[in-house]
Structure 1
Amino acid sequence: MLFAVICADKPGHLDLRMSTRPAHVEWLNGLNSAGTLKIAGPFLDQDGKPCGSMLLISASDLESARALAAQDPYALAGLFETVEVKPYNWVFNNPEA
């Protein structure tokens, strides 16, 4: 099952995002290698600077998806103000469909 992980950064935490980014990218590469990660990227503010994240991940259930999202180095560093995990149905342009 697919889940969208929608994260909003705490205001004024761009430095924390940038310093944690190498660990975050390494974690994403691991998820990608395992076939768990489908899509990932940052949300951008009006100045084009990262201000949040969106991941599309595969997990067996909502609780597993939440547990996986909690392992994100960004989450562990306290970057996020909010994290939403929602079941997702990828209808259009899904390469696996």
Structure 2
Amino acid sequence: MLYIIMAYDAPNSEEPRRTAHAPHMAHLDKIAAAGGKIVLAGPCLAKDSPDRQIAGFFGSLIVAEFASLAAAQEWSDTDPFLTAGVFEKVIVKPFRQVIPQP
């Protein structure tokens, strides 16, 4: 089943984001290794700008397939961005894709 992970950045999280980026990307690879699939993932920009240095971030969004809500929550709870203090709040919920049809 698909799950949405909506993470909101903590204030002043730019440096922890840089430091934890490589471990976070490796953690994303664990989804596929566990038999899941990432539908989409990426940072949410704070401003409407193609230059991410100007735009900054306010969080991240992941839509991915997990075996269960508990598995999605466990993955989220161990994400290096959360443990490094990049995220201050993370919401994990079931998601039903309608468009485009899977």
Q: TM-score, normalised by structure 1?
A: 0.85
Q: Distance in 1 between matches of 2:31 and 2:71?
A: 14
Deviation of residue 79 (structure 1)?
1.6
Equivalent-residue separation in structure 1 for 2:30 and 2:22 (angstroms): 13
Give the aligned CA root-mean-square deviation in angstroms: 1.6
TM-superposed CA distance for 1:30, in Å, is 3.5
Which position in structure 2 is the counterpart of 1:38? Answer: 39
Question: Which 5+ residue runs of structure 1 have no aligned equivalent?
Answer: none
If the length of structure 2 is used for normalisation, what is the TM-score? 0.81
1:60, distance to aligned residue in structure 2 (A): 2.5
Gaps of 5+ in 2: 48-53
Is the deviation greater in 31-40 or in 53-62?
Answer: 31-40
What is residue 70 of structure 1 aligned with on the other side?
77
Q: Does 1:54 align with 2:58?
A: no
Q: Residue 37 of structure 2 contacts residue 64 of structure 2 at CA under 8 Å; is this kept in 1?
A: yes
